[in-house]
Chains A and B, each alone.
Chain A
Amino acid sequence: MFVASVIIVFCLFLSAEKEAKTNYQMLDSNKDSLKLEAMKRIVAMIARGKNASDLFPAVVKNVACKNIEVKKLVYVYLVRYAEEQQDLALLSISTFQRGLKDPNQLIRASALRVLSSIRVTIIVPIMMLAIKEAASDMSPYVRKTAAHAIPKLYSLDPEQKDQLIEVIEKLLADKTTLVAGSVVMAFEEVCPERIDLIHKNYRKLCNLLIDVEEWGQVVIINMLTRYARTQTFYGSDEDEDEDEEEKEKKAETPAMAKRKPYVMDPDHRLLLRNTKPLLQSRNAAVVMAVAQLYFHLAPKAEVGVIAKALVRLLRSHSEVQYVVLQNVATMTIKRRGMFEPYLKSFYIRSTDPTQIKVLKLEVLTNLANETNISTILREFQTYIKSMDKDFVAATIQAIGRCATNIGEVRDTCLNGLVQLLSNRDELVVAESVVVIKKLLQMQPEKHSDIIKHMAKLTDNIQVPMARASILWLIGEYCEHVPKIAPDVLRKMAKSFTNEEDIVKLQIINLAAKLYLTNSKQTKLLTQYVLNLAKYDQNYDIRDRARFIRQLIVPTEKSGALSKYAKKLFLALKPAPVLESPFKDRDHFQLGSLSHLLNAKAGGYQELPDWPEAAPDPSVRNVEVKDSVRAVGTVTYRDTGALWDLQGPKKLEGSESCSSISTLNLIRPLNLSFLYSEQSSEEEERKHQRKTKQRKSDSESESDEDEESESESSQSESEESESEAEVKKKKKQIRKCSFHANVYQPSLYNWALVSMTLHLVLCLQTIAPSSALKNYELLHRITGEGLSVEYCFSRQPFSPDANMVAVQMQFTNNATADTKNLHIEDVKLQSGMRVKEFSEIELLPAGETATAVMGIDFCDSTQAANFQLCTHTRKFFVSIQPPVGELMRPVFLTENEFKKEQGQLMGMNEITEKLTLDMKCRNEHTIVQRVTTAANLSRVPCGSDKECRFAGRTVSSSSLVLVTVATKEEGAAQLTVNCEKMVIGTMLVKDILLALTQ
């Protein structure tokens, strides 16, 4: 015991000594540990709110300290006190400027972060420069920090607005998810009125949304709500339901060429579709943001989806419940049906805090209608027994509101409330009186007995509001209770001096009314009351007494007004309307602070009304800037089934991460391109019907991304088909003749027999009927006038039979000639080879040239990357083949096919069951779709239930056998036999896709 106390004393002594050593000295020491200790103490002081600004010079010296923790704490200190010590703070700037040039992106970012947080006006130009540089940094993380710095600088010096807007514009065009949230945040703080900056980025933002971090999602969704309100046209509220139905009908029977009154803007639809999955976010703010977006933007029929998610939020912390219930209360007024199925979720729990209970009551009251009122009232009855008196009072109010809104239950409610008048709790009684008063005003003649009952209550009830209400009632309806009223006045006159002011005023009123209707009995009483009031302490009461006396007691001096006294006092008063305090709150954007407070908060952006006429949707069209659209890409969260289509990447497991990142980067470009394409089509209105149909299709199915991609390529090919109807025949002939050439090269001279064989083969194989798919290699914008498209021509590449022929079409859209078109710097996976096309020496302006190159893909879907060079420029491009192009058709007889198939069993056989697409139930379409998906030839078959196809891979000549066996009702079985399993699995998926869509 003794020893212990000695030790404690010793420790105290030590720490006191340490304390004595000032922070100053510790900061000046060479030891990092001492510095750290000092900084920790200083930060603790800051945290407690103590002033530590006198240490500034000593602290700022350590800004370049090597120890990371010291450095971070110095930053904390600096940001806190720089504003007060501007001159000294400048000493630290050079350190950050150095940091801005650091090769490590995280150091660059943190330097910018601290630099921009120092609120010293003199460094505004430095900050501006740093932000501008960081905005074009290689690293998206640094760009994100730049976006964060923009509002900081803006709040420091609003004059920089114009320059900052330029930076925002630049960052808005950024395609990474990391930046998107932060830059929209900056946009909202600096220039929310510049809605035009969003046009070009709208579709991109919509598509990126799901992958943005959750806080960014909230900001973007709120901004897009406003944007969509101004920029997309939307039919009026009344006929929207019809439109929706009509639209669905249309989708079902496309043949019905009815005139369609309203089509939802595809951009509008895009926004709704992309935000919907976010209702499942774990972040309540995101869910609320989506909910308000749907509430403000979606057609009536679709708003319902948000109800379930909002009800889920009611399970969260009470603060979240509070906010959600406020919003639900507003929504229930406008769209009651939406929440009706969830009525029971709003039942009150005894453990809820009072403010939640009151809000739930509000919602329940709003939801009440003829069908559910009995259950709600039963629930209310239980609530009245609660211990929480505020809540009981609110319940009684709620009952009153239900009674006014729903005529059928008015009597029931009134009876219930009258029963409450005998409640032991005075507050309950008082509240009931007030509510009853309001109810009685609606039909007083029926309920004189209630008025009588209430008159009796004046003896007991002490709550002023209730007494005042009773007196008012008796005065107002004194003709219904002619005997009682004077007696009440008598009692009141007796106790007049002890009453509260509001009660006194009502006593005077009662007296005046009685004097006018029954002056015989009450004349003296009235005069007595008025005399008492004349000498009251409250001047309101004195004034009232004087006024009333002049009005009702006729004297020679009284003016013309006294004639109208009766009219003045006994006028018919309109019944009060009991309505929700949440009525009309929806003119504030839901989920906003302003809505919650029902007052405009600083910086609130009004939610604009729908535009009168449709704004021009073409402002959102974006020029395509990338050539990778041939590659099927998806983002992380979208992946789902499509993920697996990425075949080899996924199978290699550990690599999957890197593949995600590339996918992620590529995808937005793609989609933005796709959508722009779609809507430009729409502008033309040429394929209007087709697009609509497609749109409704894609709505109904969940894999929109994937689908729209394949769809658009489909439609594209269809288009080119129709345009090139004439050419098609020619091509077919060529193709068939090439088949002949490949399969019997030694037997025939192809030039001679091509015609005959063409006929034969046509019969046997039904040559691929759709036109070849064109892929883009280089867009004319990126290529500065030069555009390049390629297709897999499916012809043998004569210099090397192991290569896939790629036919390229060069178009020079520029005004100047392009010279020396050739390939350089080919980057390939091991084993792959490329046979370049011979250099095109001159491509005059406006001209088109074709060339064929050969690529040996080694039977893999790896991309071939190379540079396409002109005499002035080099472009990086890549070609990635779909798996179906990695093979060439072979002709087999039925027996040969069976024999080969027998050898490729077990691991080499992949079987999948599928349901055929509606349009794809006949043999012809199946053959057509399979041959479009893969370069295979048809194998004759005895049974009409089976289609067989055969081919060999181009590089290794491995056999690929495909069987599609059809059964009843569109069920089918797909079998692929191939020695190369990877090819097999990928092919199965491609064909599945082709057959099921």
Chain B
Amino acid sequence: MIHSLFLVNASGDIFLEKHWKSVVSRSVCDYFFEAQERATEPENVPPVIPTPHHYLISVLRHRIYFVAVIQSEVPPLFVIEFLHRVVDTFQDYFGVCTEAAIKDNVVVVYELLEEMLDNGFPLATESNILKELIKPPTILRTMVNTITGSTNVGEQLPTGQLSVVPWRRTGVKYTNNEAYFDVVEEIDAIIDKSGSTITAEIQGVIDACVKLTGMPDLTLSFMNPRLLDDVSFHPCVRFKRWEAERILSFIPPDGNFRLLSYHVSSQNLVAIPVYVKHNITFREGSSQGRFDLTLGPKQTMGKAVESVLVSSQLPRGVLNANLNPSQGTYTFDPVTKMLSWDVGKINPQKLPSLKGTMSLQAGASKPDENPSINIQFKIQQMAISGCTQAGQTL
């Protein structure tokens, strides 16, 4: 299983290493650096790299490569999934997962890695258990620790690990008992240049924040559960109940967790709540291009479209863009050729637009491809899939 872990930053320095079995020399990472050089983009480094004696499996998150060294046959997804779990845990603990955060908390990181893996096999990966073992650092606690010399390591031994509900810690107490459920949906659509949808699907998650005393047993039901095409659950959800009655029944972990993620397939027609009118042209011969983009809301059931962010990768030939937004601000990065436009809220009466010219490299021929446009937006209190929650009981 997993022999060692190396953390490599964007500039190619190994800033942390951890070994679970015999020490593997960090020179093994040279193979990784070679592959990194060959790859044009950071995300094009192959996740699995064979070397003469080892295999390197890496994931890239937050501009840090997490490189695991393994020696023998192991399902690659096993390692990849574990590495992502490690990153999630770091994020959970430190708020962000950056090189600086990891370096500042190197001892906690080490303690965490020690608990998460035993001899290369995952041991405790549930955040509830880990938090019982090693308390996450907070500003207050860091100060208290410096003064009193007390520690981050939990005093009492974790008992959750021993119970049949390993994801929940025991002896939870709250004065205010509360539970929140956030339904977050993403539409993923490919729309061709004439505006017709080629494929669209909705990907949703229900994130929960449950702060309840004791061992609560919750059920959550939906108005229209048939809508959910494909679901994956947190281990706490009882499968049988879902299969039989389409009700989510579970003993939740304490704190934040992802209860389920679901998928609404393209068969159910997805109405996309935003449209884009675009007109991007490059003229042959001249070093000028015209850029014209207008956004508008569509089928939003009266809800406002907020935090709109448009980004587009312009062709390599574009030197600069001189644009004029009707609202919000735009930036153009001449190195990566990435144009991003922070629109904010869409006002249906006055549609936001971005117009102007692009200057092209002199003498270069007209770029023949059309740039693709990505749009991010938020609509509060609306689920695109039309999925609604019927009720919940304790």
Contacts of B237 in A (CB 8 A): 637
Asked whether any CB of chain A lies closer than 8 Å to the CB of B158, the reply is yes
Contacts of B184 in A (CB 8 A): none
Minimal beta-carbon separation of A109 from chain B (angstroms): 9
Asked whether any CB of chain B lies closer than 8 Å to the CB of A387, the reply is yes
- The CA of A810 and the CA of B59, in the complex, are separated in Å by 64
Residues of B104-123 contacting chain A, CB below 8 A: 106-107, 109-111, 114, 118-119, 121-123
**A350 with B50, Cβ < 8 A, contacts A592-B73, A657-B165 known:** no
Residues of A299-322 contacting chain B, CB below 8 A: 308-309, 311-312, 315, 317-320, 322
Asked whether any CB of chain B lies closer than 8 Å to the CB of A997, the reply is no
A594 close to B239 (CB less than 8 A): no
- The CA of A323 and the CA of B231, in the complex, are separated in Å by 21
Asked whether any CB of chain A lies closer than 8 Å to the CB of B390, the reply is no
- The CA of A564 and the CA of B250, in the complex, are separated in Å by 81
B78 close to A218 (CB less than 8 A): yes
B241 close to A654 (CB less than 8 A): no
Asked whether any CB of chain A lies closer than 8 Å to the CB of B149, the reply is yes
Contacts of B239 in A (CB 8 A): 210, 277, 280, 637-638, 640
Closest to A35 in B: B149
Residues of B95-145 contacting chain A, CB below 8 A: 106-107, 109-111, 114, 118-119, 121-123, 125
B84 close to A315 (CB less than 8 A): no
Contacts of B263 in A (CB 8 A): 312, 315
B151 close to A599 (CB less than 8 A): no
- The CA of A377 and the CA of B194, in the complex, are separated in Å by 18
Minimal beta-carbon separation of B228 from chain A (angstroms): 11
A323 close to B313 (CB less than 8 A): no
Q: Which of A107, A350, A425 sits near B372, CB closer than 8 Å?
A: A350
Asked whether any CB of chain A lies closer than 8 Å to the CB of B178, the reply is no
Asked whether any CB of chain B lies closer than 8 Å to the CB of A386, the reply is yes
Asked whether any CB of chain B lies closer than 8 Å to the CB of A43, the reply is yes
Asked whether any CB of chain A lies closer than 8 Å to the CB of B21, the reply is yes
B245 close to A69 (CB less than 8 A): no
* Stretch from A565-573, A602-610, A967-975 that touches the partner: A602-610
Residues of A321-373 contacting chain B, CB below 8 A: 322-324, 344-345, 347, 349-351, 353-355
- The CA of A202 and the CA of B202, in the complex, are separated in Å by 40
Q: Which of A49, A117, A281, A387 sits near B313, CB closer than 8 Å?
A: A387
Minimal beta-carbon separation of B141 from chain A (angstroms): 13
Residues of A44-99 contacting chain B, CB below 8 A: 44, 46-49, 67-69, 72-73, 75-76, 80, 83
Contacts of A73 in B (CB 8 A): 107, 111
Q: How many residues of B contact A (CB 8 A)?
A: 105
Asked whether any CB of chain B lies closer than 8 Å to the CB of A596, the reply is yes
Q: Which of A43, A345, A639 sits near B106, CB closer than 8 Å?
A: A43
- The CA of A83 and the CA of B237, in the complex, are separated in Å by 44
**A282 with B258, Cβ < 8 A, contacts A72-B111, A319-B59, A640-B240 known:** yes
- The CA of A116 and the CA of B18, in the complex, are separated in Å by 18
Minimal beta-carbon separation of A363 from chain B (angstroms): 15
Contacts of B251 in A (CB 8 A): 657
Asked whether any CB of chain B lies closer than 8 Å to the CB of A925, the reply is no
Asked whether any CB of chain B lies closer than 8 Å to the CB of A642, the reply is yes
Asked whether any CB of chain B lies closer than 8 Å to the CB of A123, the reply is no
Asked whether any CB of chain B lies closer than 8 Å to the CB of A215, the reply is yes
Asked whether any CB of chain B lies closer than 8 Å to the CB of A119, the reply is yes
Max count, chain B CB within 10 A of own CB: residue among A69, A385, A594: A69
A387 close to B316 (CB less than 8 A): yes
A interface, size bucket: 35 or more
Q: Which of B59, B78, B111 sits near A285, CB closer than 8 Å?
A: B78
Max count, chain A CB within 10 A of own CB: residue among B55, B114, B240, B365: B240
A69 close to B151 (CB less than 8 A): yes
- The CA of A319 and the CA of B217, in the complex, are separated in Å by 35
**A139 with B151, Cβ < 8 A, contacts A48-B15, A656-B217 known:** no
Asked whether any CB of chain B lies closer than 8 Å to the CB of A869, the reply is no
**A317 with B235, Cβ < 8 A, contacts A49-B17, A350-B372, A702-B240 known:** no
Asked whether any CB of chain A lies closer than 8 Å to the CB of B163, the reply is yes
Contacts of B89 in A (CB 8 A): none
Q: Which of A177, A347, A349, A643 sits near B238, CB closer than 8 Å?
A: A643
Contacts of B249 in A (CB 8 A): 639-640, 643
Per-residue interface assignment for chain A, residues 640 to 653, with 1 indicating a CB less than 8 Å from any chain B CB and 0 otherwise: 11110000000001
B151 close to A382 (CB less than 8 A): no
- The CA of A97 and the CA of B229, in the complex, are separated in Å by 54
Asked whether any CB of chain A lies closer than 8 Å to the CB of B387, the reply is no
Asked whether any CB of chain A lies closer than 8 Å to the CB of B320, the reply is no
B14 close to A49 (CB less than 8 A): yes
Closest to B316 in A: A387
- The CA of A656 and the CA of B75, in the complex, are separated in Å by 37
Q: Which of B40, B84, B123, B241 sits near A639, CB closer than 8 Å?
A: B241
Closest to A31 in B: B149
Contacts of B201 in A (CB 8 A): 345
Q: Which of B23, B47, B151 sits near A36, CB closer than 8 Å?
A: B151
Asked whether any CB of chain B lies closer than 8 Å to the CB of A141, the reply is yes
- The CA of A359 and the CA of B156, in the complex, are separated in Å by 49
Minimal beta-carbon separation of A81 from chain B (angstroms): 9
Contacts of A287 in B (CB 8 A): 232
B59 close to A148 (CB less than 8 A): no
A280 close to B231 (CB less than 8 A): yes
B122 close to A215 (CB less than 8 A): yes
Contacts of B125 in A (CB 8 A): 214-215
- The CA of A317 and the CA of B66, in the complex, are separated in Å by 14
B149 close to A639 (CB less than 8 A): no
- The CA of A177 and the CA of B162, in the complex, are separated in Å by 11
- The CA of A49 and the CA of B111, in the complex, are separated in Å by 16
Residues of B10-63 contacting chain A, CB below 8 A: 14-19, 21-23, 26, 40-41, 43-44, 46-48, 50, 55, 58-61
A636 close to B44 (CB less than 8 A): no
- The CA of A323 and the CA of B80, in the complex, are separated in Å by 9
Per-residue interface assignment for chain B, residues 153 to 173, with 1 indicating a CB less than 8 Å from any chain A CB and 0 otherwise: 111011001111110000000
- The CA of A599 and the CA of B125, in the complex, are separated in Å by 31
Residues of A573-611 contacting chain B, CB below 8 A: 591-594, 596-597, 599, 601-605
Contacts of A140 in B (CB 8 A): 162
Asked whether any CB of chain B lies closer than 8 Å to the CB of A484, the reply is no
Q: Which of A44, A347, A641 sits near B244, CB closer than 8 Å?
A: A641
A47 close to B165 (CB less than 8 A): no
B23 close to A592 (CB less than 8 A): no
- The CA of A67 and the CA of B154, in the complex, are separated in Å by 11
Minimal beta-carbon separation of B359 from chain A (angstroms): 18
Asked whether any CB of chain B lies closer than 8 Å to the CB of A538, the reply is no
A703 close to B80 (CB less than 8 A): no
B192 close to A703 (CB less than 8 A): no
Closest to A214 in B: B235
B75 close to A36 (CB less than 8 A): no
Q: Which of B48, B243, B370 sits near A596, CB closer than 8 Å?
A: B48
B215 close to A656 (CB less than 8 A): yes
Asked whether any CB of chain B lies closer than 8 Å to the CB of A169, the reply is no
- The CA of A649 and the CA of B15, in the complex, are separated in Å by 53
A660 close to B164 (CB less than 8 A): yes
Query: Told that A349-B190, A385-B368, A593-B73 touch, could you supply 13 new A-B pairs with CB distance under 8 A?
Result: A47-B18, A83-B22, A83-B23, A215-B125, A281-B235, A282-B232, A319-B80, A345-B201, A347-B198, A602-B71, A602-B72, A603-B71, A638-B238
A-B interface, 6 closest residue pairs, ranked by CB to CB distance from nearest: A33-B149, A640-B240, A603-B72, A69-B151, A350-B372, A640-B241
Chain A residues proximal to chain B, CB less than 8 Å: 31-33, 36, 40, 43-44, 46-49, 67-69, 72-73, 75-76, 80, 83, 104-107, 113, 116-117, 119, 139-141, 145, 148-149, 151-152, 155, 177-178, 182, 185, 210-211, 213-215, 218, 222, 277, 280-285, 287-289, 308-309, 311-312, 315, 317-320, 322-324, 344-345, 347, 349-351, 353-355, 379, 382, 385-387, 390, 423-425, 591-594, 596-597, 599, 601-605, 636-643, 653-654, 656-657, 660-661, 664, 702-703
The 6 listed contacts between A and B (C-beta, < 8 Å) are A69-B153, A148-B123, A282-B258, A318-B43, A593-B75, A636-B164
